[in-house]
Amino acid sequence: MIQSDSRALVVLLGAMTALTALAIDMSLPALPTLSAAFAASPDRVQLTLSLFIAGYAVGQLVHGPLSDRFGRKPVLIGGLVIYVAAAIACALSRSIGVLIAARLVMGFGGGVGPVLSRAVVRDHFGGRLAAQIYSSLTAVFALAPLVAPLIGGWLLVHFGWRAIFVLLALFAGTLLTVVGFGFAESLKTPDPRALEIGRMARYYRAFLASRVCVGYALVNGLCWAGIFAFLSGSPFVFITIYGVAPEDYGLYFAPSAIALVIGALSNKRLLRRYAHERVLVMGQAAAIAGGAMVLAACVTRWGGAGGVMAGFMLYIWGQAVVTPNAMAAALEPLPHMAGTGAALLGVVQMASGALAGYAVNALYDGTPVPMGAVILTMALATAAIYVAMLRRPAAA
């Protein structure tokens, strides 16, 4: 069995966290192709992404309380089975409607990975150590945006878009095997009343009544939403506007993935010297500066796709610093309801991302400006929430 103090656990949890990121990033180069293959408008094809996120958000609300009641391992296994089955259904889809429905179910199953990874970390660790572990998960997770668009673009060109979902099913099947035979249950005392309506209502109320929990959940969610704005807009901006070949689209993710790894490692080092709140503010400042650079590149068209990526790398670095600290702070008061708390944290993150993605597509005018504007807006909103809710004496 994988031990709680081993690197193998960090790798496994990082891979579980990357489960949904792979499902998103590998499909991005195929979005314009799907539009042509199914004779569907770009906004309808975008539903394969938006509804995946919606299913992911709902899934977390289900998986978190279930894991508090029955333990982390059986819920992980159930979610992975759903994910594998839905990925196969995506590969076999004959209409855009079936593909959209299968992606919704796939998102529901995939939500089990990130939410229970956070819960498992909270089961074993707390405080600053938890933030450092989350940083390690981020470093492993960074492999997803580094390789997923490249793999997705290569599979698209050589084998067609269906091969993307076949590979996702194989990846999840491998995780299912590892969890089934190598993962030790981390929840020592399941709560037999965790699924009672009254208990769940009290848990939700406790989370929503806490300025610290809600504030840090919004900080985490809004900062991540800037990334989802990029994920939603960049396929059409890069491929359609800047003329990037679909098989080369993933190359533009490699620098951002490197920035994500550097940010995660920087966060671990900074936490050894500074309090987590000071480190979080540093990350917010970097995200705002990066968002401003992205918008400037989108408005002036300076540097083309490379100019956009230069600013986005700085945004990614800031996000990699903000997220681990915000997640650890949001879950710190909730050791008795780590699964439910992690689920609510993930729902806020996904809801923020879905709204940002919708805004980018609703405002899309054939230029990259809406994408840049939404990214900067998310960075500014993150800082505004922190100042309004978390810098008051009550938050301390």
- Rounded mean pLDDT of 327-348? 79
Q: What is the mean pLDDT of residues 325-353?
A: 80
Residues in the chain: 396
Residue from 347, 78, 328, 322 nearest 204 by CA: 347
Does the pLDDT at position 317 exceed 60? yes
Look at residue 394 in the predicted model and tell me its pLDDT.
Answer: 42
Q: State the residue for tokens 């076949």.
A: 166
DSSP state at residue 393: G
Q: Which of these ranges, 30-39, 273-282, 317-326, 345-354, has the smallest mean pLDDT?
A: 345-354
Residue range 88-115: average pLDDT? 94
Q: Which of 158-167, 330-339, 373-382 has the lowest mean pLDDT?
A: 330-339
Rg value, the chain, Cα: 20
> Per-residue confidence at 396, pLDDT binned at 50, 70, 90?
very low
Tens-place pLDDT, residues 6-61: 678 888 888 888 888 889 888 888 888 898 889 888 778 888 987 898 888 888 88
CA distance 372 to 144: 23
Mean per-residue pLDDT, 143-160? 82
Structure tokens at 338: 């780590």
- The position carrying tokens 């689920």 is 343
Which of 230, 14, 252, 237 lies closest to 153, judged by CA? 252
pTM score over 0.85 = no
Most confidently modeled range among 12-21, 93-102, 296-305? 93-102
Percent of the chain's residues with pLDDT above 70: 94
Confidence at residue 47, expressed as pLDDT on a 0 to 100 scale: 86
**Mean of all residue pLDDT scores within the chain:** 85
pLDDT at 193 over 70: yes
Give the per-residue pLDDT at 173.
95
Q: What are the pLDDT digits (tens) for 64-81? A: 889 888 989 999 999 999
The domain ranges of the chain are: 7-395
- Taking residues 144-159, what's their average pLDDT? 83
Q: Is the pLDDT of residue 393 over 50?
A: no
Q: Taking a C-beta distance cutoff of 8 angstroms, is the pair 382, 219 a contact?
A: yes
Separation of alpha carbons 194 and 191, rounded Å: 5
Residue 273 parent element (H or E): none
- The two structure tokens encoding residue 304: 């083309």
Is it the case that residue 322 has pLDDT exceeding 60?
yes
pLDDT surpasses 80 at 143: no
CATH code of the domain occupying 7-395: 1.20.1250.20
φ, ψ for residue 76 (rounded to 5)?
-60, -45
Q: Which residues lie across from 2 on neighbouring strands?
A: 183
